[in-house]
Amino acid sequence: MKVMFLTRGDVQKVISMREVIEYVEKAFKAKGLGKVQMPPKIYVNFPNGDFRAMPCYIPEFGFGGVKIVNVHPLNPEKYNLPTVMATILLIDPETGKPLAIMEGGLITDMRTGAAGGIAAKYLARKDSKVVGMVGAGAQAKTQLLALNEVMDVEEVKICAKTSSECRKFIKDMSYLGLDIYEKKIDDVVKNSDILVTATPVTKPIVKDEWVGEGMHINAIGADAPGKQELDPNILKRAKIFVDDYEQACHSGEVNVPLAKGIIKKEDICGELSDVIVGKKKGRVDDTDITIFDSTGLAIQDLATAVLVYEKAKKLDLGNEIPFFAQ
């Protein structure tokens, strides 16, 4: 028995945002119809970070799988390693045998971006054209990539911790042919149709008074207990949709306001998958403020890994490793 091994380079050769959006949306639909198995994300804490285990099974896709992903903020400066590293294992549901092992960092970035694009497709105003971005890292890049697939972006405003990060973002994303400008955070937020927050902060940096009626917000950064990017008063004004109810209450943008009693669980309107399959209404008026609280789901990883696996097989990419070799 052999297992396919795919490097980041292999993944990069076959992955495209348009196809990732298609596969991830199918996964959300399956979730909305109750046709997935996805236990809550498991956290293991280390002195300098953590790792998470994310298993799931989507019968429609014909695969099970698990992602192991770490978050170590000191890595870039101290060890010259990425903050986030991930490995995905694809499993044959019929026999339980491993089918593929692949680098999961790029898949994590792409599937997170895809979820933001899908959320904007279902929750943002149809005439949305101006995107504001708080944060300029890898997640911000794939968010913009996905938004550019689902809407006609006319202007992008960005801010980050440093101007050099913004300049790098503008240079790296110039191939999209969009007008991208560095602005102060208040100017980034004000008058944006869609706001993306993709930072690791634990105290709110987006103020309530900056957020106008009709805005849609993709809140991406909060993915662990204690993290939050938005003034809780914004959540009190908005229609909140999460990717997964249990996971978001534990570690999403809503986790701190819930723990402090600022909002209640009943204030969460539903999951994005509920909107996609028609169980819940999303935006009902152009004045609605909508929020997508994204924590990142195993079904997104599995759907994207299946896409990569199928395309890699067709192109004969990767290396096959004997699994039982001595």
Q: Bridge partners of 131?
A: 156, 194
**Same topology for domains 2-107+299-322 and 123-296, yes or no?**
no
**CATH of 123-296 among 3.40.50.300, 3.40.50.1100, 3.30.830.10, 3.40.50.720:** 3.40.50.720
What pLDDT score was predicted for residue 79? 96
**CATH of 2-107+299-322 among 3.30.420.40, 3.40.50.1260, 1.10.10.10, 3.30.1780.10:** 3.30.1780.10
What pLDDT score was predicted for residue 326? 63
- The residue behind tokens 């706001």 is 195
What pLDDT score was predicted for residue 151? 97
**Has residue 66 got a pLDDT over 70?**
yes
The percentage of residues in the chain with a pLDDT greater than 70, rounded to a whole number, is: 99
DSSP string, 234-252: HHHHSEEEES-HHHHHHHS
Contacts of 183 (CB under 8 A, 6+ apart): 157, 158, 159
Phi, psi torsion values for 223, nearest 5 degrees: -135, 20
- Of 228, 3, 8, 220, give the one whose Cα is nearest residue 133: 220
Q: Bridge partners of 95?
A: none
What pLDDT score was predicted for residue 278? 97
Per the prediction, the chain carries an average pLDDT of 96
- Are 245 and 272 contacting, i.e. CB atoms less than 8 angstroms apart? no
What residue segments make up the domains of the chain, in order of their start? 2-107+299-322, 123-296
**Has residue 275 got a pLDDT over 90?**
yes
> What's the rounded Cα separation, in Å, for the pair 6 and 20?
17
Q: What's the chain's Rg over C-alpha atoms?
A: 19
Annotated active-site positions, please?
67
Label residue 191 left, alpha or beta by phi (over 0 means left) and psi (-120 to 50 means alpha).
Answer: left
DSSP string, 113-165: HHHHHHHHHHHS-TT--EEEEE--SHHHHHHHHHHHHHS---EEEEE-SSHHH
